[in-house]
A and B are shown apart, each in its own frame.
Chain A
Amino acid sequence: MRFTLAWLKEYLEFDSSVDSLCQKLTSIGLEVEEVKNPKNDLNNFIVSEVVEINSHPNADKLKICDVNNGKEILKIVCGASNVKKNMKTVLASVGCIVKPNKEDQFKIKKSKIRGVESQGMLCSEEELNLSEESEGIIELNENAKVGEDFNKYIDDEIIEIEIAITPNRVDCASVFGIARDLSASGFGKLKQKKIKKIENDFESKIKINNTLKSDSCPQFSLRQMTNVKNCQSPEKIIKRFGGSGLKVISALVDVTNYLTVDYCRPLHVFDLDKIEGDITIRNSKRGEKFIGLDEKEYTLDNDMIVICDEKKIISLAGVMGGLNSSCDENTKNILIESAYFMPENVASTGRKLNIISDARYRFERGIDPESTFDGIELSTEMILKLCGGKVGSIISDSDLTKSFTKISVEKKFFEKILGHEIEENSICEILFKLGCQITDLQDNFVIIPPSWRQDLKIKEDLVEEVGRLLGYEKIPNKAFDLKKNNDTSVTSETQKLKRQIKELLVSRNIMEIISWSFSNKKWEENVIGDTDNIEIQNPISEELSCLRQSLLGGLLNIVNKNNNKDRQNISIFEIGPVFTGINPGEQKDRLTIIRSGKATDKNWTTDNRNYDVFDIKSDLVSLLRLLKIPLDKIKIKNENNNFFHPGKSCSVYFSELKIASFGEIHPNVSKSFKIKNTVIILELYISEILENIKKRIQTKNKFFESNFQHSVRDFSFEVDKRLKSIDLVNYIKNIDRDIISDVKVFDNYENENLRAIALEVIIQSDSKTLSENEINELSTKIISQAKTQFKAKLR
C-alpha cells in the first residue's frame, strides 16, 4: 500500500518528522517498506525574488537577473523563458547540489556563462527531483517569504510512503484507516471523514434482483446519475495517484479507485447507456464467458457472483468490471455500485481466474460491511464536483440485519497473555480509539469491535491490539525455567547417529552435499528404471518435476556439473529423504556416497590410480564400525539393481536385513549423465538400519586379551575365479573357533588361467600355549577342508 504524505495529512494532524512517522508505522505493525522523500536531499535551496532583469550582452536567450536571497543581491544568469521581474523562485547558490543522487547531479560553482559571471542558478522542478520533466523555473506563490529554506514550500504530495499490510489488516489498505490506527497509538489527531447525504434530484426506476442476498452478496446498492460529463481528473488527483502507484484513467473511474485507497471502499461505475434493463445478482454457471476491463476473456466456474443486466454479465462481483459496460469519454449516464460480497467467494473467484485487482484484495480480506451507503454518498459527492450531473435515489436489495461480534474478556487476561500489567485505563483508551464499544463489568470487559475490524474475533485479538498499540518494546523480557520436568533427551538415537555419520564421512574427506528433494522423470528412469514417479502438480521446472526416490540422480548430476568445471576427482555424499509414496511419512533417510575419478592427485609419492570399489568398501567398513554392526556378521550377495555394473557390485546384508549396496555404476548410467570417469557408489539404508537395530548400549564389554603366545600360518590356495573369498575365510574361522582367532586375506592374484588367494591364519588359545603338533594338526585340517569344500588347491 503506497500513499503520499499529503494524503495522510488530510486525515491526521501531526508535527513529527517523516522519520518518526515511519518508525511509528512500523512499530504498530504497518511495516514501512520504502520512503521516497526528495526533501532529504535538498539542502540550502533558498526562496528568492528576481528584482531586476537585464539582457545578456552575448546571448539572446539568456538574461542576467538581480536576485534577492534575503541577505544580498546576487547576479544570476538564467535561460528560462518564464523568468520575470518580481517573480518568487528557488535559488541554488554556490555549493548547492542540484539533481541530488541522480546520475547527472552537479554542484553549483561560481562560473562565467558566455562571458558573464553567475553566482548561482534559478531552479526548475526537474532540477530539484520534484518532477520527471518540467518547463521553466519554479514559480512560487507571491506570499512565499524571501530568504526561507525552500523545503518548507515543497508539497507533501511529493513524499511517498509504502507500507506492507498483513492479511488481517485490510482496514489499513486505506489512507484513512492508517490515520485512524496511528491516532489510536497516540500519534497525531484524527480528522474524521465527513460523509454528506446528497439530496436526490429524481427517483430511480431501475430494479435490483439480488438472488444472493442471504448468501454471498448480503448488500447491493446502486445510484443512478444522469448528464454527467466524464473528463480528466484534476491536477491534485493526478499528482496523488502518481505518488500512490495508481493509474489515472478518467474522472469517473478515478473516483472509484480513489475511494478504494482512501477509505477501503471498492466501488464500480457502469455506463448506464450500455446496460439493458434491470440488474440481477446471481451465481455464474460453469462455462459462461466474461470479458473483463483488462480485455481478457474469462471462462467462469459455478458459483461465482456475477452482476447482470437483462442480456449479459456486466461485472464479476468484487473482482473486475466488464468491458461491455465500462465508462469512456462519452459516458453521460452512470450507475454507481457499492456492495458487500462475502470474502471467501471473492477469494475463490479471484484465485480460480487468477485475477489480481485492488477490489479483490480488499473484498477477500473483509471490508467494512457497513460502508455500502457511505461509498455511494462519497462517490456521488466527488462525481458531482468533477463531472456534474443529476443525482438519482439510492436503490438497494440488501439484507440489512447487522451482525456484530461481542467479546467478553477478563480484565486479568491482558496480563495473563502479555506477562506484563497494563492499567485498565490504558486498555480502555486504546480499544476506544480503535472504535470499540466497551462495557465495563466488574471483572470483565465486554467489547464490540467496530465494523471495519472484521479481524477482531476473540479475546486474544484484543490482547494483540493492546500490546501492539502500547508498543511491544514496552513489554519487558521475562526469563522462565524451561528445564524443569524435562525427562527426554534433546536428540534421538537416530538424530545423533546421522550427525556422527556426517562427521565420519567428512573426516574421510568426502564432501557433504545438500541437493533438491526434487528430481525428474529422466533421472529417476536412468537410476531406478521405469517406476511410478511421485509427480508435482505445479513444478517449478521440468528439471524438478517429481520427488526423488533415490539420491543417485541428483548426485550424478552434481558430478557432471563439477566435471564441467574441470573437477574430475570427486567424493561427495548426501544424507536426506527419499520418497516411497505420496502419503505423509512415506519417506526414508538414505545415505549415498559417490567417489569418482582419481583417488589421488598427481603426486610424487604415489601412483595416480582411479577410485575403485574397495575405496568405497572402506567407507562402508568405517560406517559399520560406527553403527556397531560386527563385520563378520555381514553377508555379501551378488544381487544388484540394474544401475550397477553387473560384475562389480553387491548388496550387503545384516542377518536378513539389506543394509547397503555398493559397487561401480553401470556404464550406461554414466553415459546418460555424461560422466566419463569411473563412478563408485555406496547406498546405505539408514532408516531401515536404525529401525531394526536396537539402542546402542553405553557400557562396554570387559577388555580381554589372551596371555598365551600366538602363531601365524600363511596359506596360498589356487581357487575358482568366482569364489567369494569371504566364504572361504568364514569357513576356515569356523574350523576351530577356540584356537583360530583371525583369518585375513592378504593377497589376491589373478591371471587368465588361474586365481590364487593368500590367507594369514592367526592361531591362539585363551587357555594354553599351543604345541607345534597341535598347530600342524590344525594346518592339515585347514588344507584338507579347503580342498573338499572349495576345491582350493594349496600352492
Chain B
Amino acid sequence: MNYDEIIQSALKEVEDSNASEKLEQVRVKYFGKNGTFTNALKSLSTLSIEEKKSVGEKLNGFKNLFFSCFSRKKNQIENLEINKKLENDFIDLSLPAREVNFIEAKVHPISHTTNEIVNILGDMGLSYEEGPDIEDDFHNFSALNIPENHPARQMHDTFYIKSKTHEKFVLRTHTSPVQIRSLKKNKLPLKIFAPGRTYRCDSDMTHTPMFHQVEGLVVDKDITFANLKWFVESFCKTFFEKNDLKLRFRPSYFPFTEPSAEVDINFKKESGKIVIGEGDKWMEILGCGLVHPEVFKMSGVKQDVTGFAFGMGIERLAMLKYGMPDLRDFFDSDLKWLEHYGFNFFEKTDLIWR
C-alpha cells in the first residue's frame, strides 16, 4: 500500500471538510474502528521485526500529522459554526422581567418599629416581656395606684368585657400592667420592656381604638431620676439616629410614678414636613417617672429598691421617624399604603447593621 498517497488524500479530505459531521466521517474513514490506518496498524503484527519498526514509525508519524490537522480544522469549523449561530441569536431584553407580583410585600411599619425598639432596649440591657390583652381591674388600674373614682381613670377611655360574673375585665388601656405582672413574677433586679397592643374607646383623627405601646421598667438598688434621664435620652438619640437631639423633661402626673415627667424632643417644620432633632419647637414623645412606692407594695416587692418606668406609643414613634401622616392608615390595611410605608424583610433593625 502506498501510505504516502493515502495520507496525502486523507489530509486533503480534512482540509476540504466544511462541517463537523463531514470532518468526523473523514476521521472514521481513516482512524475509526475499521479505518484504513487503523487496519494498517493492526496488521503490523504480521510483519518482521525490522519492517515492523520502519513501517510502524511511518504510520505513527502519519497518525500524528493527521490528528494535528484534524484538530486545527475542527476548531476552525466550530468557530465558524458558533459565529454563524450568534448571527441569528437575538432576544429583546427590554421585555418585562419574569416578575409576577403586582405589589411588593413588606413588613408592617409597626413590626419594623417594634423590632428597632427591641434592638435598642435589648442592647441597653432590658429583656422582652409580654402581657395579656385582656386585663383585670387590679393589674390595669388598682395595682398601678389608680383606684376606682380616681380622676386619672377618666383619661383612660376603657373598653369593658361583658362578663356573667361580678369580676371586671377590661382591654388593657396601656402596657403598664406588665410592670405589675413582671414585678410579681421575677426576681430583682428587674430590667424589662413590654411592647404590645393597647385599647381605648376613642376614635377620631388622632385616636384609634387599638394602638401599640411599649413599656419599660428598671428596678434595682439606688435607681435615680438622673439615671432615668440618661436612659431616656440615650434611647431617643439612638432611635431617631440623631446624636444632637434635644430633650425636655416636663413635670407631669401619672398615678404609678412619682416624680413623673413627660419628655419632649425638638423639631422644626420644613416645607410642611417634620424634621426631628432640629429647630426649637417641642413635641411630646413619652411619659416616664420613678416607680411609685404604692406600685411596689401592690406587687409584693418588699426590698428597699427604687426604679424607673416609661411608656410610649409605637405608632407615634413610627410616624415621627418615617413620616406617615395619619394614624388611622396603620390599621386600614390598604395594600398600596403598606407597600409604600412598609419595610423589606432584609432591612435590618440591628444597631450594627443599620
A515–B154 alpha-carbon span in the complex (Å): 27
Known contacts A364-B149, A475-B226, A567-B335: does B210 contact A518 (CB below 8 Å)?
A: yes
Residue from the list A475, A534, A600 in contact with B100, Cβ < 8 A: A600
The reply to whether B134 and A512 form a contact with Cβ atoms under 8 Å apart is: no
Annotate A558-586 by CB proximity to B: 1 below 8 A, 0 otherwise. Answer: 10011001010111100011010011111
Annotate A603-623 by CB proximity to B: 1 below 8 A, 0 otherwise. Answer: 111100000000000000000
A511–B151 alpha-carbon span in the complex (Å): 42
Among A298-341, those with CB < 8 Å from B are none
A534–B170 alpha-carbon span in the complex (Å): 12
A479 to chain B: which residues have CB within 8 Å? 227, 230, 234
Annotate B290-327 by CB proximity to A: 1 below 8 A, 0 otherwise. Answer: 10110000000000001000000000000000000000
A2 to chain B, nearest CB (A): 19
The reply to whether A514 and B330 form a contact with Cβ atoms under 8 Å apart is: yes
The reply to whether B111 and A29 form a contact with Cβ atoms under 8 Å apart is: no
Known contacts A29-B252, A495-B128: does B149 contact A579 (CB below 8 Å)?
A: no
A351–B158 alpha-carbon span in the complex (Å): 13
Among A499-539, those with CB < 8 Å from B are 499, 502-518, 534-539
A463–B225 alpha-carbon span in the complex (Å): 10
Annotate B131-163 by CB proximity to A: 1 below 8 A, 0 otherwise. Answer: 011111001000000001111101100011111
A473 to chain B, nearest CB (A): 7
The reply to whether B258 and A605 form a contact with Cβ atoms under 8 Å apart is: no
Among A768-786, those with CB < 8 Å from B are none
Q: Is A490 engaged at the interface, CB distance under 8 Å to the other chain?
A: yes
A420–B234 alpha-carbon span in the complex (Å): 19
B353 to chain A, nearest CB (A): 14
A461–B290 alpha-carbon span in the complex (Å): 11
Q: What is the number of residues of chain A that contact chain B, defined by CB distance less than 8 Å?
A: 99
The reply to whether B209 and A167 form a contact with Cβ atoms under 8 Å apart is: no
The reply to whether B251 and A562 form a contact with Cβ atoms under 8 Å apart is: no
The reply to whether B230 and A486 form a contact with Cβ atoms under 8 Å apart is: no
Identity of the chain A residue whose Cβ is nearest the Cβ of B139 in the assembled complex: A584
Residue from the list A26, A478, A567, A599 in contact with B103, Cβ < 8 A: A567
A365 to chain B: which residues have CB within 8 Å? 151
The reply to whether A490 and B126 form a contact with Cβ atoms under 8 Å apart is: yes
A460–B256 alpha-carbon span in the complex (Å): 12
The reply to whether A167 and B150 form a contact with Cβ atoms under 8 Å apart is: yes
Q: Is B260 engaged at the interface, CB distance under 8 Å to the other chain?
A: yes
Among A25-50, those with CB < 8 Å from B are 26-29, 31
Annotate A416-442 by CB proximity to B: 1 below 8 A, 0 otherwise. Answer: 111110000000000000000000000
Q: Is B218 engaged at the interface, CB distance under 8 Å to the other chain?
A: yes
Which of B50-58, B69-77, B270-278, B336-344 participates in binding chain A? B336-344
The reply to whether A478 and B134 form a contact with Cβ atoms under 8 Å apart is: no
The reply to whether B150 and A28 form a contact with Cβ atoms under 8 Å apart is: no
The reply to whether B251 and A515 form a contact with Cβ atoms under 8 Å apart is: no
Q: Is B203 engaged at the interface, CB distance under 8 Å to the other chain?
A: yes
Residue from the list A419, A491, A606 in contact with B224, Cβ < 8 A: A419
Annotate B70-112 by CB proximity to A: 1 below 8 A, 0 otherwise. Answer: 0000000000000000000000000110111111111110110
Identity of the chain A residue whose Cβ is nearest the Cβ of B224 in the assembled complex: A419
The reply to whether A511 and B225 form a contact with Cβ atoms under 8 Å apart is: no
Which of A464-472, A711-719, A741-749 participates in binding chain B? A464-472
The reply to whether A347 and B259 form a contact with Cβ atoms under 8 Å apart is: no
The reply to whether B335 and A511 form a contact with Cβ atoms under 8 Å apart is: yes
Among A450-493, those with CB < 8 Å from B are 458, 460-461, 463-464, 467-468, 472-473, 475-480, 482-483, 485-486, 488-492
Q: Is B27 engaged at the interface, CB distance under 8 Å to the other chain?
A: no
The reply to whether A491 and B191 form a contact with Cβ atoms under 8 Å apart is: no
Annotate B194-235 by CB proximity to A: 1 below 8 A, 0 otherwise. Answer: 000101011100000110000000100011111101110110
Residue from the list B134, B135, B149 in contact with A344, Cβ < 8 A: B149
The reply to whether B149 and A537 form a contact with Cβ atoms under 8 Å apart is: no
A513–B103 alpha-carbon span in the complex (Å): 14
The reply to whether A540 and B251 form a contact with Cβ atoms under 8 Å apart is: no
Identity of the chain A residue whose Cβ is nearest the Cβ of B101 in the assembled complex: A509
A164 to chain B, nearest CB (A): 9
Identity of the chain B residue whose Cβ is nearest the Cβ of A488 in the assembled complex: B127
Q: Is B66 engaged at the interface, CB distance under 8 Å to the other chain?
A: no
Identity of the chain B residue whose Cβ is nearest the Cβ of A164 in the assembled complex: B252
Q: Is A211 engaged at the interface, CB distance under 8 Å to the other chain?
A: no
The reply to whether A460 and B259 form a contact with Cβ atoms under 8 Å apart is: yes
Q: Is B248 engaged at the interface, CB distance under 8 Å to the other chain?
A: yes
A604–B127 alpha-carbon span in the complex (Å): 51
B133 to chain A: which residues have CB within 8 Å? 517, 577, 579, 587
Q: Is A730 engaged at the interface, CB distance under 8 Å to the other chain?
A: no
The reply to whether B98 and A535 form a contact with Cβ atoms under 8 Å apart is: no
The reply to whether B251 and A28 form a contact with Cβ atoms under 8 Å apart is: yes
The reply to whether B199 and A167 form a contact with Cβ atoms under 8 Å apart is: no
Q: Is B124 engaged at the interface, CB distance under 8 Å to the other chain?
A: yes
Identity of the chain B residue whose Cβ is nearest the Cβ of A503 in the assembled complex: B345
Q: Is B250 engaged at the interface, CB distance under 8 Å to the other chain?
A: yes
Q: Is A544 engaged at the interface, CB distance under 8 Å to the other chain?
A: yes
Known contacts A348-B149, A478-B230: does B251 contact A511 (CB below 8 Å)?
A: no
Between B107, B118, B330, the greatest number of chain A beta carbons within 10 A of the residue's beta carbon is seen for: B107
B333 to chain A: which residues have CB within 8 Å? 513-515, 558, 561-562, 572
Q: Is A169 engaged at the interface, CB distance under 8 Å to the other chain?
A: yes
The reply to whether A464 and B226 form a contact with Cβ atoms under 8 Å apart is: no
A606–B339 alpha-carbon span in the complex (Å): 24
A420–B227 alpha-carbon span in the complex (Å): 10
Known contacts A419-B227, A507-B345: does B103 contact A603 (CB below 8 Å)?
A: no
A347–B171 alpha-carbon span in the complex (Å): 23
A480–B150 alpha-carbon span in the complex (Å): 35
Q: Is A168 engaged at the interface, CB distance under 8 Å to the other chain?
A: yes
Q: Is A601 engaged at the interface, CB distance under 8 Å to the other chain?
A: yes
The reply to whether B102 and A601 form a contact with Cβ atoms under 8 Å apart is: yes
Identity of the chain B residue whose Cβ is nearest the Cβ of A545 in the assembled complex: B162
The reply to whether A491 and B128 form a contact with Cβ atoms under 8 Å apart is: yes
Q: Is B3 engaged at the interface, CB distance under 8 Å to the other chain?
A: no
A382–B128 alpha-carbon span in the complex (Å): 61
Give 6 closest A-B pairs by Cβ, nearest first: A419-B224, A419-B226, A29-B251, A482-B125, A166-B253, A464-B259
7 A/B residue pairs, CB under 8 Å, sorted by A: A464-B259, A499-B115, A508-B105, A512-B105, A536-B161, A536-B171, A586-B134
Q: Which chain A residues have a beta carbon within 8 Å of chain B's beta carbons?
A: 26-29, 31, 166-169, 343-344, 347-348, 351, 364-365, 416-420, 458, 460-461, 463-464, 467-468, 472-473, 475-480, 482-483, 485-486, 488-492, 495, 499, 502-518, 534-541, 544, 547, 558, 561-562, 565, 567, 569-572, 576-577, 579, 582-587, 599-601, 603-606
Known pairs A478-B229, A511-B105 / 7 extra A-B pairs, C-beta < 8 Å? A480-B227, A491-B128, A495-B128, A503-B345, A537-B159, A537-B162, A572-B333
